[in-house]
Structure 1
C-alpha cells in the first residue's frame, strides 16, 4: 500500500505546474479530501494508474525532475533497449545510457570497486527533491530486478538533498536506510550481482510493460517474501547453528517443495542466501575485528579452512589475508 505522503509527492509536480488535479485523482479513484483521512492509502494498482495519468498530463514520465522531459513511452522503450542484455551489468549500463540520453540530468554512472557496485547520479544543478531520486531508483531497480527474476539487495543509499520535513517515511527504500545531505546521490549493491544472467525474454516483455509501474512498486521489496523471511531467520543465528533446509521449511510453516518454489519465485535458493550472508559476515569480520582468519572460517561454519579460502577467493578475488592487508593500508 502507498501512504499519503508519497501520494502527495506524486501530486506535487502537478500543483507546481498549475495543472488541474481532477483527472489524476479520477484515475487513482480518490478525491483530494480523502488525503486528509487518517491512514489513507492507495493500492499499488491505484497508485500505478495515478502515476500513469500524471505522466500523461505532464508529458513526462519523470514528472519534470530531469533536465529534459521523459516523454510518455520512454519507459517502454527503455525496456525494449535492455531486454537483449546478457547480464545484470550489461542491463544496468544500457539503462543508464538510455536514461542519460533522455533526461540529460541526473546523469547515472556505474562505478565498480572491489566488492561493491554503485550507481552514482551526477548533477550540476542544486539537489533535487528526495522523491525525484526515489523515483529514478524505483524505475531502475524495478526493471533490473524483473530482468534477473529476483530481488536485489541495496547495501547503501545516499541522497544529496535533505530529508523532507516531517517525512520520516522517506528514510527507508525497499528495506534500506537512506542517508540524506550527502555529497552525491548513490545506490550501492554487491558487485557479484553484476554477473547475474538476464532471465526474461521478448515474450515476457509486453506483460511487464503493461503492468508497470504497479508491478514494480512492491514486488521487489527486499523485505518481503520467502527469501526475506529466510534471511531474517538465518541472521538471528550464528552460521554454525543454521537449520537445514527441511528445518527452515518447518520454521516458516511451509512444506519443503513449497519453500523451494517460493524461493525460486524470488529468484534465489537456500544455498545462495546462506553464501550471501557468509560473505557479508566474512568481509565485516575481516575489516572490523582482529579475529584470526582461521577463527573467521570456523565462526562461519566452515569445517575446513581451505573451503573458506576457496569461497572467499571467489567473492573477493583474493585470499582473506590479502583482503585484510589491502584494507589496512
Structure 2
C-alpha cells in the first residue's frame, strides 16, 4: 500500500463545513476539535493534513449523528460504517465485497444508490438518485465513493485503479482536488454519474480478518481519505520518484523524464494537460513535507526550511505564504487527541 500521506485542499474542508451549517450546527467547535485554525479556512490556498481531515470527519459525525454529513434525506447513523465493514468482511472476494458495501449503503440512504455494473472489461459504480431528488453536489458523490471504495480496497489489500469518472453535477471549485482523488479522466455535467474501475480486483480474495478490522476502524477514515488517490497518473509517478529521495537530491526535469522513460517534452505536455508542471509538483511536495513537519512540533522552522530546500528561513516563509496563504506558525497548532478514529 502507498504510505503517502499528503494534504487536502481547504476547499474540501469548506464543503464539509457547509454540510454542518445547513443543519444549523456551529462549525467553529468542530474545526477546533480537528485542529483546523480559522486562518487556514480563510486562506483559499490552505491545506490540511489527512489526520486533520479525518478528525474533522469524525467530529462532524458526532455533531450530526450522520456519517453521510446530512447529504441524504435519511441520516447514516453513527455505527453504520462499522456495520458495513463487518458485513463486507464476510465476502469471499472483491466482487462480493463491493456488492455488499454498495448494498449496505442502499439500505441506509434514501436519495442516492450505487449499482455495480460489471463486465469482463470494466466495473462501474453507477450512481442513481431517487425520483424527485435534486441533483447532488460532487461532495455527496465523493463521500459515498470514499466510504465504499476505501473499504473494498482495504478488504482485498490493493488500491484499485480508477479508469474514468462521470458526474451529472456541475464542476465544483475543488475540481482539481477531485481529479487527484478519482482520476484524470473526470468530467462533470454528463448525462449519467458513474465511476469506472479496472476489473481485476473482482477475483481477488478478501484478505482481512476481524482482528485487522479493529486496526482499520481505529484509523478510519483518515487512513484512506488520501491513501487511495489515483496512483496511475503521470503526476503520481513523478511524485513517487521524488518522494523516494531527499529534496536536495531531486533531479532536473530532463533527468527525471529519462528515469521515467519518457521524453521531457512529452512529460511537460502531459503534466500541463492535467494542470500541473514539474515545478508545481515539487512545490506541492515541499509544502506537504513542511506542513507535516510543522504539525509534528518536533523541529525548528529553520531546520524544516533547510530540509525542504531553503538556505534562508525568510525565503521559506515567503514561499510557504505563497503556497498556502498562511504563515508557517499557523500550522504549528498541535493536533487533537482524537485523530479521526471511529468508535469501535
TM-score bucket of the superposed structures, by smaller chain? 0.5 to 0.7
Matched, 1:28 2:21: no
Question: Does structure 1 retain, via aligned residues, the 8 Å contact 2:156–2:206?
Answer: yes
The correspondence of residues 80-95 of structure 1 with structure 2, limited to 5 A, is: 80-95=86-101
Deviation readout 1:262-285 (Å, 9 max, x if unpaired): xxxxxxxxxxxxxxxxxxxxxxxx
Across the aligned residues of Structure 1 and Structure 2, the Cα RMSD in angstroms comes to 2.5
**Per-residue deviation, 1:56:** 1.2
How many pairs does the alignment contain? Answer: 236
What TM-score, normalized to structure 1? 0.66
Higher RCO (C-alpha under 8 Å, 6+ residues apart): 2
Bigger radius of gyration among the two? 1
Partners of 2:238 and 2:203 lie apart in 1 by: 23
Structure 2 counterpart of 1:69: 75
Matched residue of 1:155: which SS? Answer: strand
What TM-score, normalized to structure 2? 0.63
Partners of 1:38 and 1:147 lie apart in 2 by: 36
Matched residue of 1:160: which SS? Answer: coil
Question: Does structure 1 retain, via aligned residues, the 8 Å contact 2:181–2:230?
Answer: no
Structure 2 counterpart of 1:262: none
Structure 2 counterpart of 1:205: 213
In 2 relative to 1, CA 73–157 (structure 1 residues): closer, same or farther, beyond 3 Å?
same
Partners of 2:149 and 2:261 lie apart in 1 by: 24
Partners of 2:237 and 2:85 lie apart in 1 by: 25
**Per-residue deviation, 1:234:** 7.3
Structure 1 counterpart of 2:166: 158
Partners of 1:228 and 1:166 lie apart in 2 by: 23
Structure 2 counterpart of 1:187: 195
Structure 2 counterpart of 1:244: none
Structure 1 counterpart of 2:12: 6
Partners of 1:27 and 1:196 lie apart in 2 by: 39
In 2 relative to 1, CA 10–176 (structure 1 residues): closer, same or farther, beyond 3 Å?
same
Matched, 1:219 2:222: no
**Per-residue deviation, 1:165:** 4.5
Deviation readout 1:22-63 (Å, 9 max, x if unpaired): 221111112334312363221111111111111111111001
Unaligned runs of 5+ in 1: 238-329
In 2 relative to 1, CA 82–127 (structure 1 residues): closer, same or farther, beyond 3 Å?
same
